């Protein structure tokens, strides 16, 4: 059973908070000073448990970032017990700069491998390929995560050389073919090592792989760019931020964001130019405190007024939280 513990003091009274999560049922239970105060729904669905703590309403909030990556926090009047500041959703570890680079390198490597070892040979076979008869001399089965069937055969290339090669075939072809049988193969005359049995066409699978990883590549590039930009903006704002008031334009629910919100806002920089920005992911309980048209505090980079960061309340020590907001 996974557990998470906190120790906090409210009105000079100490409290030990423990969250227990069953790996079998996904049920989440909350204990205060050893006594169970409430149990919530599934870890994958509920994501909120409100329970009494020192005469106040505390909220257990959590975010699911994949198997074994659930992150919990206890919030009292908008303040995170974990950080002591305004409660905000923890960053997705899979969106960090290091992980973004790893995903980009992985997708690029897989796409490159599919293109080099699969798609490019098939393109050459389609453009330059020549069919010929080949005599089967053997075969074998390769077992692993899946079972693959191969035939070994010989054929005479355009230059008169006899080539011995091996090709992937279907189970039906493998079962019905014997040594000495003749099958059709297609090969590139200028490079006979590029060949395959005519009966086994891998083009649909290759097209699917290229499409899947081809779409994934620009997505991972965007992830790297976004992570690098966020790091650069954060570093710049720590060094030379200017605080100002912004007007809330819209509060939007994040798609697949586990109920989190983003706030779009506008502000003017020191030169009077109108700028727009967007908050990071916020809990719904914080976002509910900022209606469209209301004011909030942001910080922007004086060297680049378009780069800004959401702060929220005007008082840096204040926190906001609308308990039960959806």
CATH number for the domain harbouring residue 198: 2.40.50.140
Question: Is residue 158 domain-shared with residue 256, that is, in the same domain?
Answer: no
- 218: in domain: no
- 269: in domain: yes
Question: Is residue 201 domain-shared with residue 252, that is, in the same domain?
Answer: no
Question: Is residue 68 domain-shared with residue 108, that is, in the same domain?
Answer: no
Distance in angstroms (rounded) separating the CA atoms of residues 114 and 215: 14
Question: Is residue 83 domain-shared with residue 105, that is, in the same domain?
Answer: no
Q: What is the DSSP string of 169-225?
A: E-HHHHHH--TT-EEEEEEETTEEEEEEETT---HHHHHHHHHHHHHHHHHHHHHHH
Model confidence pLDDT, tens digit, residues 241-256: 899 999 999 999 998 8
Residue 325: what pLDDT?
A: 86
Question: Is residue 119 domain-shared with residue 199, that is, in the same domain?
Answer: yes
- 224: in domain: no
Beta strand ranges found along the chain (DSSP E): 2-10, 13-21, 27-32, 35-42, 48-53, 56-64, 70-76, 79-80, 130-143, 147-156, 162-169, 182-188, 191-197, 242-253, 261-268, 274-278, 295-301, 304-312
Picking from 208, 232, 265, the residue at the C-terminal end of a domain is 208
Question: Is residue 109 domain-shared with residue 81, that is, in the same domain?
Answer: no
Question: Is residue 73 domain-shared with residue 134, that is, in the same domain?
Answer: no
Picking from 87, 116, 145, the residue at the C-terminal end of a domain is 87
Task: Give pLDDT < 70 ranges for the chain.
Answer: 1, 39-46, 67-68
Q: What region does 45 belong to: left with phi over 0, alpha with psi -120 to 50, or beta? A: alpha
- 213: in domain: no
- 131: in domain: yes
Q: For residue 109, which of 21, 220, 254 has the smallest C-alpha distance?
A: 220
Question: Is residue 158 domain-shared with residue 61, that is, in the same domain?
Answer: no
Identify the domain containing residue 140 by its residue range.
Answer: 101-208
Residue 187: what pLDDT?
A: 97
Question: Is residue 126 domain-shared with residue 169, that is, in the same domain?
Answer: yes
Q: How many domains does the chain have?
A: 3
CATH of the domain at 44: 2.40.128.180
Q: Which residues pair with 31 in a beta bridge?
A: 18, 36
- 156: in domain: yes
* pTM (predicted TM-score): 0.70
């Amino acid at each position: 059973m996974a557990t998470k513990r906190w120790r906090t003091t409210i009105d000079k009274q100490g409290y030990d908070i423990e969250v227990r999560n069953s790996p079998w049922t996904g049920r989440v239970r909350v204990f205060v000073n050893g006594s169970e105060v409430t149990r919530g729904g599934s870890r994958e669905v509920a994501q909120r448990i409100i329970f009494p703590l020192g005469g106040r309403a505390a909220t257990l909030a959590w975010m699911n970032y994949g198997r074994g990556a659930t992150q919990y926090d206890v919030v009292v009047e908008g303040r995170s017990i974990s950080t002591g500041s305004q409660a905000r959703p923890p960053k997705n570890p899979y969106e960090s700069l290091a992980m973004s680079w790893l995903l980009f390198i992985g997708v690029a490597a897989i796409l490159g491998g599919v293109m080099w070892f699969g798609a490019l040979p098939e393109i050459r076979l389609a453009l330059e390929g020549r069919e010929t008869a080949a005599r089967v001399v053997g075969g074998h089965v390769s077992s692993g995560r899946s079972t693959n069937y191969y035939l070994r055969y010989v054929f005479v290339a355009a230059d008169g050389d006899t080539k011995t090669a091996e090709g992937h075939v279907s189970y039906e072809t493998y079962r019905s073919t014997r040594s000495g049988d003749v099958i059709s193969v297609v090969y590139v005359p200028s490079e006979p090592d590029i060949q395959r049995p005519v009966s086994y066409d891998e083009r649909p699978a290759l097209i699917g792989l290229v499409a899947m990883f081809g779409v994934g590549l620009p997505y991972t590039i965007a992830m790297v760019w976004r992570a690098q930009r966020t790091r650069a903006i954060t570093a710049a704002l720590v060094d030379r931020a200017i605080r100002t008031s912004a007007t809330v334009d819209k509060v939007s629910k994040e798609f697949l964001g586990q109920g989190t919100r983003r706030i779009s806002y506008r502000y003017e920089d020191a030169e009077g130019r109108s700028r727009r920005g967007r908050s990071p992911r916020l809990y719904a309980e914080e976002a509910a405190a900022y209606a469209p048209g209301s004011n909030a505090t942001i910080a922007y980079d004086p060297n680049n007024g378009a780069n800004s960061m959401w702060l929220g309340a005007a008082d840096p020590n204040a926190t906001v939280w609308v308990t039960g907001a959806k």
